[in-house]
Amino acid sequence: MTKNNKIKIFITGGAGFIGTNFILYMMKKYPDYQIINFDSLTYAGNLNNLKSIENNPKYKFIKGDICNPGEVKPAMTGCDWIVHFAAESHVDRSIMDPDTFVKTNILGTNVLLRVAKELEIKRFHHISTDEVFGELGNEGKFTEKTPYDPRSPYSASKAAADHLVRVYFHTFGLPITISNCSNNYGPYQFPEKFIPLFASNLIENQKVPLYGEGLNIRDWIHVDDHSSALDLILHKGKIGETYCVGGDAEKTNLEITNLILKYFKKGDEMIEKVADRAGHDFRYAIDFSKIKKELGWSPKVNFEKGLAETLKWYQDNQDWWKKIKSGEYKKYYEEQYKNRS
Ligand code: NAD
Ligand code: DAU
């Protein structure tokens, strides 16, 4: 293994929202670490996010598909740690096209695990989601011991991937860790997701499509808090363990919509209540006491402040999302919208 200050990390899906923010966080905090960003650049991958580091000798981008072992193996060779973000990540898309989610999220993860085992990788960290636990009613929170009960093609594919990662630990001794995190927000999030979609629509003076009555609840975490949790798990987490990561900020979608409307000085006539998402999970909430107690982590970013900074970012970086919204995404959005109104 390379010396501790020369750790080489193989990051999958680094051109997506959380992967981008994690790479920027790690390169700033650990300038000696080497980072390989392995990403197939699907509709959600965007190398413009990483322009500021593209010439840094410690950073290398490799275009490749996690489902293709012939591309994965040479790229992963010589790396110490794997941090696996790559996935199809949008629930609505999974309802329209489950097959792509099964392929990337399950089969792709299996390819990575098999190659990591062959190469005797020292750590495989798998990024998962709180959605694998299903939905909550008004009471209770998810913990590491909550039984799996996924309810969308997306969450079922992530659940299957989590099981495979644990199989590689128990059966083959691969040194793994897993984190299950709640809803992230922050810069560089693809504008099909709730917060960037609503922000960018309002900037363009378009209505925002709120599903149902907007009473579903999510727990929101700033993406930098997610990165700091991953940093700790990688450096201090116990092999074979799972950590639940949450933002301690439960909000209904209507509450967030009202905060976004207020920020952009718009009235509630800009809300368009549209047909609900099929199988829409009512509530997610995370009990993060394990990572707090064992690794000393807790979220630092106050939700209202983090949201205002995030909205400002979308206001200041209109070129970033306008390019996306006028491209392939436009077709998808029109299709979604047609089916919902
Ligand atoms: P994203 O959709 O923004 O990015 C996904 C990235 O993976 C893209 O860059 C894409 O090009 C890449 N990718 C997709 N298929 C690939 C393949 N076959 N080979 C290589 N690269 C591929 O997703 P995100 O929101 O950044 O989520 C990252 C991870 O975090 C996912 O595993 C997701 O399930 C998990 N997660 C997300 C959230 C959230 O709120 N966004 C919360 C908890 C967990
Ligand atoms: O909980 C973690 C998960 O959070 C991650 O695993 C997923 O990758 C990530 O996409 C996110 O899933 P959600 O389905 O919760 O996120 P999304 O931004 O799509 O929706 C958030 C809430 O807002 C949800 O209750 C649905 C609602 N919504 C969403 C969209 C896109 C609307 O009301 N209108 C919309 O147009």
Q: DSSP string covering 192-257, please?
A: TSHHHHHHHHHHTT--EEEETTS--EEEEEEHHHHHHHHHHHHHHPPTT-EEEE--S-EEEHHHHH
- Among the options 131, 162, 224, 281, which is catalytic? 131
Could you tell me the two tokens for 150? 């996924």
Determine phi and psi for 251, rounding to 5 degrees.
Answer: -140, 145
What CATH code is carried by the domain that includes residue 38? 3.40.50.720
- Closest-approaching ligand to the CA atom of 66: 1
Q: Has 211 been annotated as catalytic? A: no
Determine phi and psi for 274, rounding to 5 degrees.
Answer: -115, 170
- Closest-approaching ligand to the CA atom of 221: 1
Determine phi and psi for 329, rounding to 5 degrees.
Answer: -60, -30
Expressed in angstroms and rounded, the spacing between residue 12 Cα and the centre of ligand 1 is 9
Q: Has 263 been annotated as catalytic? A: no
* Pocket of ligand 2 from Cβ distances under 6 Å: 89-91, 129-131, 182-183, 193-194, 197, 209-211, 216, 218, 253, 277, 284
Asked whether 162 and 312 are in contact (CB, 8 A), the reply is no
Domain that holds residue 34: 4-189+219-248+280-301
In-domain check, residue 198: no
Q: Whose alpha carbon is nearest atom 29 of ligand 1?
A: 85
Residue 119: closest CA among 175, 37, 189: 175
CA separation (Å) from 43 to 13, 48, 60, 73, 127? 12, 13, 20, 24, 20
- Closest-approaching ligand to the CA atom of 12: 1
Expressed in angstroms and rounded, the spacing between residue 181 Cα and the centre of ligand 2 is 13
In-domain check, residue 64: yes
Q: Has 131 been annotated as catalytic? A: yes
In-domain check, residue 61: yes
- Domains contained in the chain, number: 1
For tokens 């329209």, what's the residue?
96
In-domain check, residue 322: no
**Axis crossing angle, helix 303-316 with helix 318-325, rounded to the nearest 10:** 70
CA separation (Å) from 112 to 33, 70, 166, 229? 21, 11, 13, 22
Within 48-130, strands assigned E span 59-63, 81-84, 123-129
In-domain check, residue 52: yes
pTM score, whole prediction: 0.97
Cβ of 20 less than 6 Å from ligand 1: no
Cβ of 86 less than 6 Å from ligand 1: yes
In-domain check, residue 334: no
Q: Which amino acid is at 151?
A: R
- Going residue by residue through the chain, which has 341 residues, state the pLDDT in tens, using 9 for 90 and above: 445 568 999 999 999 999 999 999 999 999 999 999 999 999 999 999 999 999 999 999 999 999 999 999 999 999 999 999 999 999 999 999 999 999 999 999 999 999 999 999 999 999 999 999 999 999 999 999 999 999 999 999 999 999 999 999 999 999 999 999 999 999 999 999 999 999 999 999 999 999 999 999 999 999 999 999 999 999 999 999 999 999 999 999 999 999 999 999 999 999 999 999 999 999 999 999 999 999 999 999 999 999 999 999 999 999 999 999 987 666 776 776 666 65
